[in-house]
């Protein structure tokens, strides 16, 4: 709802959830809203600060960030809300960062670029262009995978480039791996593996369904088949 140029929130029955006292109020994800109570004159150079709250008005992040946005990972179902502000300390600019996960956990870490929660005990952390899959977000958390390139996640399988034209795939226990020249995820959680110009078909547990059944230079999917 909007009242006196302020924005609020009502439910489907038009019951007021939040009074209309927000200058800016934008839905992001996980039932959370970026908000600002500050009014901005378009002729001023004043940049309002933003905070983060839920539908009941409970504040997760105070109104002290320059920008709050949603950061998606490889697939749209893996996302994090990221808040950033810039501070000037002794003439140098420093970024202050906060990350809010889908379970509303707030993480304040200035030394990482991104963090995404895959599930309750798997977190992908991006720092200085490198990706790490860990059991948590703190420095002492167990490391499952370190990748110098993008780390991909699909159907519980993680994969990344080895930097030599080959790829490594990790089963969800991180014990069994596959190294190959190329791969494609297809229907029914199956994976086509290309290695030494031959194709193999495996399931998500890396059980071989068909082995070395076709000589090929590359994998081309047609209508989700091959």
- 3-class SS letters over the chain: CEECCEEEEECCCCCEEEEEEECEEEEEECCEEEEECCCCCCCCCCCCCEEEEECCCCEEEEEEECEEEEEECCCCCCEEEEEEEEEEECCEEEEEEEEECCCCCEECCCCCCEEEEEECCEEEEEECCEEEEECCCCCCCCEEEEECCCEEEECCEEEEECCCCCEEEECCCCCCEEEECEEEEEHHHEEEEEECCEEEEECCCCCEEEEEEEECCCCCCECCEC
In tens, the pLDDT along 106-126 reads 999 999 999 999 888 899 999
Q: How confident is the model at residue 211 (pLDDT cuts 50, 70, 90)?
A: confident
The predicted structure's pLDDT at residue 21 = 63
Q: How confident is the model at residue 221 (pLDDT cuts 50, 70, 90)?
A: very low
Partners of 115 in the beta sheet?
125
Rg of the chain taking only CA atoms, in angstroms: 23
The predicted structure's pLDDT at residue 224 = 46
Q: Does residue 58 surpass a pLDDT of 70?
A: yes
94, 96, 97, 132 from 85: Cα distances, Å = 8, 5, 7, 24
The predicted structure's pLDDT at residue 135 = 93
Query: Residues 53-61: what's their mean pLDDT?
Result: 87
* 181 vs 75 pLDDT, higher one: 181
- Residue 156's region, left for phi above 0, alpha for psi from -120 to 50, else beta, is left
Q: How confident is the model at residue 56 (pLDDT cuts 50, 70, 90)?
A: confident
Q: Does residue 89 surpass a pLDDT of 90?
A: no
Among 76-80, 93-97, 173-177, the range scoring the smallest mean pLDDT is: 76-80
The predicted structure's pLDDT at residue 6 = 65
3, 48, 109 from 19: Cα distances, Å = 9, 20, 32
Distance of CA 162 to the CA centre of its chain: 22
Q: Does residue 133 surpass a pLDDT of 70?
A: yes
CB atoms within 10 A of CB 185: 17
Q: Which of 18-27, 74-83, 184-193 has the highest mean pLDDT?
A: 184-193
Q: What is the pTM of this model?
A: 0.79
In tens, the pLDDT along 136-193 reads 988 899 999 999 878 988 888 999 999 888 999 999 889 999 999 999 888 878 899 9
């Amino acid at each position: 709802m909007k009242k006196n140029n302020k924005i609020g929130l009502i439910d489907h029955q038009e019951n007021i959830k939040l009074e209309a006292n927000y200058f800016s109020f934008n839905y992001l994800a996980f039932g959370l809203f970026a908000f600002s109570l500050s009014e901005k004159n378009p002729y001023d150079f004043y940049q309002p600060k933003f905070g983060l709250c839920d539908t009941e008005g409970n504040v997760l992040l105070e109104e002290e960030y320059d920008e709050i946005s949603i950061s998606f990972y490889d697939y749209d179902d893996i996302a994090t809300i990221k808040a950033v502000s810039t501070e000037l300390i002794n003439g140098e600019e420093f970024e202050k960062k906060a990350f809010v996960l889908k379970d509303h956990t707030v993480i304040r870490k200035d030394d990482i670029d991104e963090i995404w929660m895959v599930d309750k005990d798997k977190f992908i952390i991006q720092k200085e262009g490198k990706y790490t899959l860990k059991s948590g977000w703190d420095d002492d958390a167990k490391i499952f995978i370190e990748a110098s390139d993008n780390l991909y996640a699909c159907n519980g399988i993680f994969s990344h480039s080895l930097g030599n034209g080959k790829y490594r795939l990790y089963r969800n226990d991180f014990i069994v791996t596959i190294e190959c020249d190329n791969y494609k995820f297809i229907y029914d959680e199956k994976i086509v593996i290309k290695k030494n110009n031959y194709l193999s078909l495996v399931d998500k547990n890396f059980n071989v369904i068909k082995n070395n059944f076709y000589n090929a230079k590359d994998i081309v999917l047609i209508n989700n088949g091959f």
